[in-house]
Amino acid sequence: MPFRALATTAAEALAAAGAPRLASLTLVLSDDAELAGLNAEHMREHGPTDVLSFPLLPPSAFPGYAGSGAVHRDERPTEPEYKAPPRQRTHLGDIVISVERAIAQAADGRGGQTGDIAWSAADEIRLLVVHGVLHICGWDHAQPEERDAMRALESRVMRPQ
């Protein structure tokens, strides 16, 4: 998968999540061994995972979304508390993806948001980029309403243009 496609996918996800226009993030393409180590160190989970996000800003730095508990009653996103300095790029955080895990998930038909989609490894990596970006931007999927909102936005970003 060309790096340009990953950068475009990340930019589309950042825009959809309401990230500052002048922003940067780090995307690391790695393997199961590195993700297993990071997963143990930072999440206290055993074994590899497909993607980990390490946000540098709090969720309040981004607009709220339906299900996040940070929206008004009329479901409009709230204004973020964080304002980036004018004309300065804000680094949002780091995303680490196990390409090895993405390839295996796609090949075994364990891809997609629900873990039951057979599609290309490139599509699986694109989804993991979007998922990681949304976590960087304060999105979560711990509660059903959050999960549904996050999946809906992931699907929107993943749609072919």
pLDDT tens, position by position, 23-52: 999 999 999 999 999 999 999 999 999 999
Rounded to 10 degrees, the C-alpha dihedral 29/32/33/38 comes to 70
For 63-117, what is each residue's pLDDT tens digit? 887 767 654 334 444 555 666 666 788 999 999 999 999 999 999 988 888 888 8
pTM, entire model: 0.87
Residues 10 and 126: their CA atoms lie apart, in Å, by: 8
pLDDT at 134 over 90: yes
Check: CB of residue 22 under 8 Å from CB of residue 90: yes
pLDDT in tens, 2-17: 889 999 999 999 999 9
The burial of 142, by beta-carbon neighbours within 10 Å (0-12 exposed, 13-18 middle, 19 or more buried), is given as exposed
* Residue-level pLDDT at 98: 98
Which pLDDT score, from 0 to 100, does residue 83 have? 64
pLDDT at residue 87, as a whole number? 74
> 90 phi and psi, to 5 degrees?
-100, 125
Is CATH 3.40.390.30 the right assignment for the domain spanning 3-158? yes
Q: Which residues contact 99 (CB under 8 A, 6 or more apart)?
A: 29, 30, 31, 121, 125
User: Which pLDDT does position 140 carry in this prediction?
Assistant: 92
Quote the CA–CA distance of 125 and 146 in Å, as a whole number.
Answer: 22
| C-alpha distance from residue 134 to each of 13, 19, 46, 48, 112 (Å) | 7, 9, 23, 20, 15
Q: Determine the Cα–Cα distance for residues 56 and 141; give it in Å rounded to an integer.
A: 19
C-alpha dihedral, 13 to 15 to 21 to 23, nearest 10° = -10
> In this predicted structure, what is the pLDDT of residue 82?
61
The closest alpha carbon to 55, from 128, 129, 139, belongs to: 139
